[in-house]
Amino acid sequence: MSIELISSVRSFSGQQQQYRHHSSTLNCSMHFSVYLPQGADSEQGHHFPVLYWLSGLTCTDANFSQKAGAQRMAAELGIVLVVPDTSPRGEDVADDPSYDLGQGAGFYVNATQDPWKQHYRMYDYIVEELPALIEGNFPVNQRRAISGHSMGGHGALVIGLRNPERYTSISAFSPICNPIACPWGEKALGAYLGAETTHWEEYDASVLVGRAINHRPILVSQGDKDEFLEQQLRPEALQMAAEVCGYPIRFEHHGGYDHSYYFIASFIEEHLRFHADFLLKNDHSDS
């Protein structure tokens, strides 16, 4: 599980870094970014909790680190930020000319269809391989939270709902809440998983919330000027499903905000504080 440091810059007395490694899950080289608060590069034996951030369509691991402005609050709270890429990449990795399928559009699923299944296993990468890599190479403990935006918000909700034992809390900005019933989701899930729509339900938060037994805290933030709100995101489906089954999801609707990183930057500190309530609830120095 060796990793190669690509870059490291000082930020709020910590380090913003980017790494490269070979992923056995995705069968290709992958990049990820990590923010380490002050003290994480020392040998004092202090271990930090981790917030995993999943980005949206067309993004890489760099977008969140450069645009969200999350480092100041992460440094203050003592939380490591880990940001993977949004899909496998490389000359041998299947792709599509459109922006919403293929490289940059992994949708955090395990593909079962050709030509995608050879590389597109982002679900397993996020749930299993990447945390093992982080916990094996950085001074972190096993307290994890997960968040994301748009396609990444979908990924955070799905992964958190399916693996409540692995995460203290879940949040999302402008998530694709009901992908089995929106154009983005229908296209991607059909390509990656095939025509049998019952398989799609395993990656739909509005379906999974009704199946959840262990309820983790969830925060969803949505802007009402989001250009994708009605056709693609469908937060009302998730809200309705949560109300029917009694899952206490905290929905926040923000007037005047769109789908961009300006929205994320405006409320990322609130999301980090939300996760800190659970990540730091007990002594987070445990290894």
Using CA atoms, how far residue 38 sits from 54, 75, 105, 200, 283, in Å, is 23, 7, 33, 42, 18
* Tokens linked to 18: 């980017």
DSSP line for 140-208: EEEEEEEEEBTHHHHHHHHHHHH-GGG-S-EEEES----GGGSHHHHHHHHHHH-S-HHHHGGG-HHHH
* The predicted structure's pLDDT at residue 39: 82
What pLDDT score does 246 carry? Answer: 96
Q: What is the mean pLDDT of residues 118-137?
A: 98
pLDDT digits (tens, 9 = 90+) for 186-226: 999 999 999 999 999 999 999 999 999 999 999 999 999 99
Indicate if the pLDDT at residue 41 is higher than 70. Answer: no
High-pLDDT (> 90) share of the chain, %:
94
Angle, vertex CA 110, rays to CA 27 and CA 21, nearest 5: 30
* Residue owning tokens 């925060």: 219
Is 283 a residue of the active site?
no
pLDDT of 74 higher than 70 = yes
Q: Quick check: is 154 catalytic?
A: no
Place of tokens 């096993």: 142
pTM, two decimal places: 0.96
d(CA 265, CA 110): 30
Structure token pair of residue 94:
């299947």
Question: Of the listed 206, 226, 275, 284, which one is catalytic?
Answer: 226
Residues 201/211, Cβ–Cβ less than 8 Å: no
Which residue among the candidates 150, 174, 206, 221 is catalytic per the annotation? 150
What span, in angstroms and rounded, lies between the C-alpha atoms of 268 and 219?
Answer: 12
277 included as an active-site residue: no
100, 57 contact by CB (below 8 A): yes
Asked whether 188 and 105 are in contact (CB, 8 A), the reply is yes
Residue with tokens 């993977």: 84
Catalytic choice (259, 271, 275, 284) = 259
